[in-house]
């Protein structure tokens, strides 16, 4: 059995022009990788390919030992529900619902129990009964991260999760994400413009000149 949680091989993709070609990326349990690069270089596209949302023009993605884009839609949907956590730069919460109700949506779908220790670690426990619209942007982002982690994913794909946060809150978020993968054996793929956040990962890749180096 492969020791890799994620293995991307020979990925090439583009729309009107080629974004990147012959990209290779691998990730072991409890490992984190950061992908950095200029805006428009294809970082988010590469993340979406590895996380089931875009099929590459060429190449393959193996996730948990399975060739991702040969799976049925039902299988891919199950991966998204139970095994993959996606964290975006923008939180996509239901503003008319409480913070707790937003987190419960994910935990009910996955069948997992929300841990108070996670809410305490993210410093949002006292905010749970507030409506999302009453929270600051940083508080909303931490709620969205709690929503993802509460379902206990085996892989986390994070697209600029600290991009709109102040330095102290960004450090807290990275602390929590790295603690989670160390405790659970999950993997983390982080797309970021923040070189300091990137350096906290086990490996840093740069997407430049249509290649990942």
Contact call for residues 70 and 62 (beta carbons, < 8 A): no
On whether residue 65 sits in a domain, the answer given is yes
Residue 105 lies inside a defined structural domain of this protein? yes
Residue 211 lies in a domain: no
Burial class of residue 180, CB neighbours in 10 A (0-12, 13-18, 19+):
buried
Tell me if 27 is assigned to some domain. Answer: yes
- Residue 183 neighbours by CB under 8 Å, 6+ apart: none
Residue 19 lies in a domain: yes
Domain limits at 52?
Answer: 4-206
Note the Cα 136 to chain centre separation in Å: 21
pLDDT tens-digit readout, 159-193: 999 988 999 999 999 999 999 999 999 999 999 99
What is the total count of domains within the chain?
Answer: 1
Q: pLDDT, tens digit, for every residue of 18-63?
A: 999 999 999 999 999 999 998 889 999 999 999 999 999 999 999 9
Q: pLDDT for 192-213, tens place per residue?
A: 999 999 999 999 999 998 899 9
* 119 located within any domain: yes
Give the domain CATH number at 55. Answer: 3.40.50.300
Range 66-76 average pLDDT: 94
The answer to whether residue 213 is domain-embedded is no
In a domain, 169, yes or no: yes
């Amino acid at each position: 059995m492969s020791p890799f949680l994620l293995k991307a091989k020979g990925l090439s993709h583009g729309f009107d022009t080629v974004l990147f070609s012959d990209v290779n990326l691998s990730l072991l349990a409890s490992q984190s990788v950061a992908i950095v690069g200029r805006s428009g270089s294809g970082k988010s596209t590469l993340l979406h390919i590895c996380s089931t949302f875009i099929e590459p023009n060429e190449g393959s993605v193996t996730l948990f030992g399975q060739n991702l884009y040969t799976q049925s839609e039902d299988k891919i949907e199950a991966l998204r529900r139970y095994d993959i956590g996606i964290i975006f730069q923008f939180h996509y919460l239901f503003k008319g619902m409480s913070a707790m109700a937003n987190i419960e949506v994910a935990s009910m779908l996955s069948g997992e129990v929300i841990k108070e220790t996670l809410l305490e670690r993210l410093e949002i426990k006292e905010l749970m009964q507030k409506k999302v619209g009453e929270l600051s942007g940083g508080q909303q982002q931490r709620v969205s991260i709690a929503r993802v982690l509460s379902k206990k994913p085996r892989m986390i794909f994070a697209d600029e999760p600290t991009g709109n946060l102040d330095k102290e809150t960004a450090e807290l978020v990275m602390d929590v994400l790295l603690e989670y993968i160390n405790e659970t054996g999950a993997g983390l793929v982080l797309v970021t413009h923040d070189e300091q956040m990137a350096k906290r990962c086990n490996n840093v890749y740069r997407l430049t000149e249509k290649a990942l180096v």
